[in-house]
Amino acid sequence: MLKYAMLAGAALVAAPVLAQSTTTSSQTSAPSGAATGQTNPSGAMASPQATPTDAVPMQSAAREQPATGSQVAQVVDTEFPTYDKNGDGKLSAVEFGGWMVALKSKTDPSTKPDAPETKKWVSAAFAQADGDKNKSLTKSEITSFLTQG
């Protein structure tokens, strides 16, 4: 269950990136003048090909399908430096806990970081992710943990 919550969190973090890529490709394939609202040869106003609501289907599709290993690795590579506060290339239990609470809060806004059940959940996740039991996590350990089925 914990793995699925982590994957869902990773998918939520990755969804805006996927939506942005889709929107960007839609905009680049738009006919000349469509994105700027210029009139087309018939005199009618051209409608933009990509709108902010185009991103919504991509986000819900990302939630329905599990993230691939490469997507999880990309999210870990992007987000890891944010939570590696001391810059040592590893996450301590506290640093990892901050990241996991942030992910869980995205899927469940009622998450309380100081609640006993949240602390227990984070502790169990850290213990499971720490494959070599050295009390710190590398990018590869986190990626492996999040991609486990």
**Per-residue confidence band for 57, with pLDDT thresholds at 50, 70 and 90:** very low
Q: What is the pLDDT of residues 36-54, one digit of tens each?
A: 444 444 444 444 444 444 4
Cβ-based neighbour number of residue 146 at 10 Å: 22
Q: What pLDDT, on a 0 to 100 scale, did the predictor assign at position 99? A: 93
- Confidence band of 1 (pLDDT split at 50, 70, 90): low
Q: Is 0.85 topped by the overall pTM? A: no
pLDDT for res 69: 84
> pLDDT value at position 148?
85
The CA distances from residue 9 to 35, 117, 120, in Å, are: 33, 18, 18
**Domain 2-14+54-147, CATH among 1.10.238.10, 3.40.50.11540, 3.40.190.10, 3.60.15.10:** 1.10.238.10
Torsion of CA 11, 71, 18, 96, to 10 degrees: 50
Give the residue extent of every domain in the chain: 2-14+54-147
